[in-house]
Amino acid sequence: MSESGRRGPNNSGSRDGGGHANRGGRSDSKRNAQGRERNRGPQRGYSNNAPSQRTRRADPARLVAYEVLRAVASEDAYANLVLPARIREHRLDRRDAGFATELSYGALRGQGTYDAILARCVDRPLEQLDPAILDALRIGAHQLLSMRVPAHAALDQTVGLARAVIGAGPSALINAVLRKVTAHTMAEWMDVLLEQETDETRIAALRHAHPEWIVRALRQSLVNHGRSKTEIEALLEADNAAPVVNLVALPGLGNLEEAFENGAAAGELVEDSALSAGGDLGRLESVRRGTTRVQDVGSQLVARAVASVDLGAPAREGERWLDLCAGPGGKAALLAALAHRDGATLLANEPAPHRAKLVQQALSAVPAESWTVRTGDGREVGGEQPDSFDRVLVDVPCSGLGALRRRPESRWRRAPKDIADLGPLQRELLVSAIDAVKPGGVVAYVTCSPHPAETTAVVGDVLGKRDDLELLDAGKALDAVSLTGSLGAGHELTAQLWPHVHHTDAMFMALIRKKS
């Protein structure tokens, strides 16, 4: 695509200090014969082309973003899984892939706020619009309000996309609506939306594009884990920041030389980790072999912590380890590599057959004598193999509120009912893990959520019914495997990582020891 369609060296768009798009200086306003002001500001620099001269093709990068939004909406797909495949399918180069990534994730992440703006520009309820039209409007709104794309290019290219994949009639509607969007900058739209709003939660939800219930839940979570509720703004901002890709080299099996040669930097929190600027990491030979993996550093820390905690034995050789909820296999691969290094073995359990195959693929880089995959219900393992394992990781299914920055669509999919529905399963899995661990062994209860109903409440309920369990200091265990030596994640023996503090997913961990 020509430079008129993408502005500046940074495809993802730079923002000013207030978090809004930096559009440069304003142009002189123009008035028509009636004295009404036209084109007030640069965002109104839309195309002067006649309809017959406007773009009628789909720019590949924008087409990728549109296809990702469509897959998320119509197929319940995950953007982080769909996007790489679409980038390869359309053969985007690094520059266009970066643009498509920012456009896809940005439109999904900001959906709630963009919909509130679009609702002011459409003459009918948004739910009455064809979903494909609404996705195209979201793509256009993100370009106009939050990216360094000239307004005329954003309009022309989005309408061209609509003409190519939706039709001429809908493209006219999209053109008209997006011209209304250009009436204000993002900061001005916020003033319009919040003009008479006094509720702090509603204000934060609109400003930071989170559902109101999640804003309340995260504020409560901060307080529950010993932090100030005033951190909520920083936490919401961290959720909206484009995450850095984290890599891990499996101990004793992989190294990061290839990643460093391709621009990655050494990780600052945990050994054998790196931070990558992105791109198609599947092109790296070490990633294809599976000896280097994409994995959030929070996940790396909790896996290393459960493998390293002192059980009072002189050596780990001969120990049996269990990953009770192993799919899709990221933590299991790291645990298996650590088990192989230390002379232990790992049983990785996953109930869903297709996910169990993913676990096997993830573990394939580790010598086969060090691991086994079981396909079955994790709630049955404790009864079938009681007092059998020295270390157990139970990373339970959860709401995923701790990974909103990496899964931009998930905030709009989840509802409070999901957390309530998951509670019984989380408790049953933790009980099974405790039954499976040997006396003197340790269970790591882990969630990618800071919500009290999924973290401290589950642990408290299970421990309250037994007298053979004790909490170990999880914060101290994380510090022991961290390069910094002091993460400050511990609170009342449990540990909670945060995106705005530790630059990780919001991983929770409790270490539970079964008394001898």
Give the residue numbers marked as catalytic: 448
Q: What Rg do the C-alpha atoms of the chain give, in angstroms? A: 25
Burial classification of residue 282, based on how many CB atoms lie within 10 Å of its CB (0-12 exposed, 13-18 middle, 19 or more buried) = exposed
- Locus of tokens 């530790």: 502
d(CA 359, CA 327): 6
Sheet with 273-276: strands ordered across: 265-266, 273-276, 245-249, 292-294
d(CA 157, CA 46): 11
Kind of pairing, strands 245-249 and 273-276? antiparallel
CB 53 within 8 A of CB 184: no
516: enclosing H helix or E strand: none
d(CA 40, CA 28): 7
CB 311 within 8 A of CB 442: yes
Which three-class secondary structure state does DSSP give residue 381?
helix
Which three-class secondary structure state does DSSP give residue 326?
coil
d(CA 209, CA 111): 7
d(CA 260, CA 258): 5
CA atoms within 13 A on the CB side of 299: 24
d(CA 430, CA 447): 11
CB 185 within 8 A of CB 20: yes
Amino acid present at 66: Y
d(CA 355, CA 398): 16
In sequence order, which ranges of 262-352 are alpha helices (DSSP H)? 285-289, 297-308, 330-342
Question: For residue 401, what are its two tokens?
Answer: 């509120």
CA dihedral of residues 497, 500, 503, 504 (deg, nearest 10): 40
Nearest partner of 161 among 96, 66, 93, judged by Cα: 66
Question: For residue 319, what are its two tokens?
Answer: 């120990």
CB 178 within 8 A of CB 142: no
